[in-house]
Structure 1
Amino acid sequence: MISRRGFLRFIGGSFLTAAALGAYAVGIEPMLLTHVKRYALTPPHWPDGLKLRVVALADIHACRPWMTPDRIASLVQHANALQPDVIVLLGDYISGMPMVTGPVTPSQWASALSGLKAPLGVLSILGNHDWWHDGFAQRAGAGPTIARKALEKVGISVLENDVVRLEKDGHGVWIAGLADQQALLPTAERPGLTGLDDLDGTLAKVGDTAPVILLAHEPDIFATVPRRVSLTLSGHTHGGQVRLFGYSPVVPSRYGNRYAYGHVVENDRNLIVSGGLGFSIMPVRFGMRPEILQIDLG
């Protein structure tokens, strides 16, 4: 039978352990040097001889003290050093939580991102927080959002249900970007979250048989993405922010852990979900370091 002193030691040790883990999750892991998560794959029907390096940044959630302009600038340097052919930004530049010490304005985070450089360009999409925290866009039920205008002002193209054709080594490749699937918050006239995404209309703009890379902030759309798309890239989930033994207890997806994180293959279709860089709701990361994606195709 445990003694009173032994019980108190156990309680004290448990409290200290919990406090240490909490301090790590809030103050250490979110600020660790960003991890580069590398993938190498050749999707079905990918052209022989086309080698393409895509670097992706997701879920920056600019705010102080965690994601300052200086830190974003350091991420930019890190991304450029990976020698990408093309850089893609997967949405959610605006902070998604109230627990901050100060804001980072759109002009500040966009200016920091303007340093991204790649031979085939820098392309972006928007995320749900880029819409939710834009009162004018919510009232209008349409954009352009403040985030879109900030990105375009520094020369970063924003794809909302649109496509662009790139070419490398004589091969074409399409980058298709969806508008956000949860863009509009509920109102009396608009019950539930309303998406502005148009997958069929976007893919209809693809003009030839070159491969398609789809940028979609939320990964849930992947359940309906056709095989015509070689690769879908998403963010949004942050890998659950807390991930243990390949499982995240809370995932902002109706599919739970199915599309929570990493490389998912279903019926010869490929999805890669980034763990992202910042966080929303709570400033916690545990078992899910901030990451930049490097994807080598072909």
Structure 2
Amino acid sequence: MISRRGFLRFIGGSFLTAVALGAYAAGIEPMLLAHVKRYALTPPHWPDGLKLRVVAFADIHACRPWMTQERIASLVDDANALQPDLILLLGDYIAGMPLVTGPVTPSQWASALSGLKAPLGVLSILGNHDWWSDGFAQRAGAGPIIARKALEKVGIPVLENDVVRLEKDGHGVWIAGLADQLALLPARRGDPCKGLDDLDGTLAKVGDSAPIILLAHEPDIFPTVPWRVSLTLSGHTHGGQVRLFGYSPVVPSRFGNRYAYGHVVENDRNLIVSGGLGFSILPVRFGMRPEILQIDLG
């Protein structure tokens, strides 16, 4: 039987361990240099001879002290150093929590992102927090929202239920971007958020048989994505922000851990969910370092 002194030592040790882990999760891991998460795959409908390197950012959540304009500029340098053909931004540039020491304005984070450079360009979509932070757009039930205006002002196109055709080495590839699936907050307590996404209408704009890369901030759309789409890229979940042994206790998805993080293959369809760079609700990351995606296709 454990003695009283042994019990108190156990309690004291457990408390100190909890404090240390909490300090690491709140003060250290969120500030670590972004890890480059690399994937290499040849998805369906991918033409022989087309090699495409995509670099992607998700969930920046710009704010002080964690995701300052200076830190975003440093991440931009890291992305450019990967020599991508194309850079994609997967939404949620706006801070998603009140626990900040100061704002990073849309003009500031957009200015930092304007340094992204790739031969095929930089394309973006918007996320739920970008919509939720814009009170005028919420009341109007429509955009363009502040985040979109900030991105477009620095020359970064925003795709909301729209497509762009790119070409590399004589091969075409379509980038399709969905409007956000949780864009409008509920008018009454208990009602769901209203999405502005139109998957069918977006894909109807694709004009030929070239492969499609779909950008969808929330991964919950994936079960309805047709096989015609070669790859879906998402963010939003942050990998749960806390991830232990491949499991995230809390995931902002109705599918739980099914689409929490990483490369998911279902019925020969491919989804990659980024763990993101910032955080929402609480400034905590544990077992889920900030990450930049590098995806080599073909």
TM-score interval, normalised by the smaller of the two chains: over 0.9
* 1:102 match: 102
CA distance in 2, matches of 1:25, 1:219: 25
* 1:171 match: 171
Where do 1:61-100 residues align within 5 Å? 61-100=61-100
CA distance in 1, matches of 2:190, 2:126: 21
Q: Extract structure 1 runs of 4+ deviating beyond 4 A.
A: none
Asked if 1:3 is matched to 2:15, the reply is no
Matched AA of 1:271: L
* 2:276 match: 276
Provide Cα deviations, 1:237-295, integer angstroms capped at 9, x if missing partner. 00000000000000000000000000000001000000000000000000000000000
* 1:136 match: 136
CA distance in 2, matches of 1:195, 1:139: 15
Matched AA of 2:141: G
Asked if 1:122 is matched to 2:141, the reply is no
Matched AA of 1:151: L
Contact 2:95 2:129 in 1 (8 A): yes
* 2:285 match: 285
CA distance in 2, matches of 1:126, 1:12: 46
Where do 1:22-37 residues align within 5 Å? 22-37=22-37
Contact 2:151 2:157 in 1 (8 A): yes
* 1:154 match: 154
Matched AA of 1:230: S
* 1:51 match: 51
CA distance in 1, matches of 2:164, 2:192: 31
* 2:205 match: 205
Contact 2:45 2:210 in 1 (8 A): no
Matched AA of 2:249: P
How far is 1:7 from its partner? 1.1
How far is 1:190 from its partner? 10
Provide Cα deviations, 1:7-33, integer angstroms capped at 9, x if missing partner. 111111000000000000000000011
RMSD across aligned positions (CA):
1.0
Provide Cα deviations, 1:38-84, integer angstroms capped at 9, x if missing partner. 00000022100000000000000000000000000000000000000
SS at match of 1:123: strand
How far is 1:3 from its partner? 1.4
CA distance in 2, matches of 1:88, 1:273: 13
CA distance in 1, matches of 2:179, 2:88: 15
Count of paired positions = 298
Where do 1:244-255 residues align within 5 Å? 244-255=244-255
SS at match of 2:210: coil
CA distance in 2, matches of 1:283, 1:166: 37
Could you tell me the percent identity over the aligned residues? Answer: 90
Q: Which runs of 5+ in 2 are unaligned?
A: none
Please say which of residues 182-191 and 225-234 is displaced more in the overlay: 182-191
Asked if 1:40 is matched to 2:40, the reply is yes
Where do 1:213-232 residues align within 5 Å? 213-232=213-232
CA distance in 2, matches of 1:5, 1:185: 53
Provide Cα deviations, 1:186-245, integer angstroms capped at 9, x if missing partner. 014993200000000000000000000000000000010000000000000000000000
How far is 1:4 from its partner? 1.4
CA distance in 1, matches of 2:173, 2:296: 14
SS at match of 1:158: coil
Provide Cα deviations, 1:122-156, integer angstroms capped at 9, x if missing partner. 00000000000100000000000000000000000
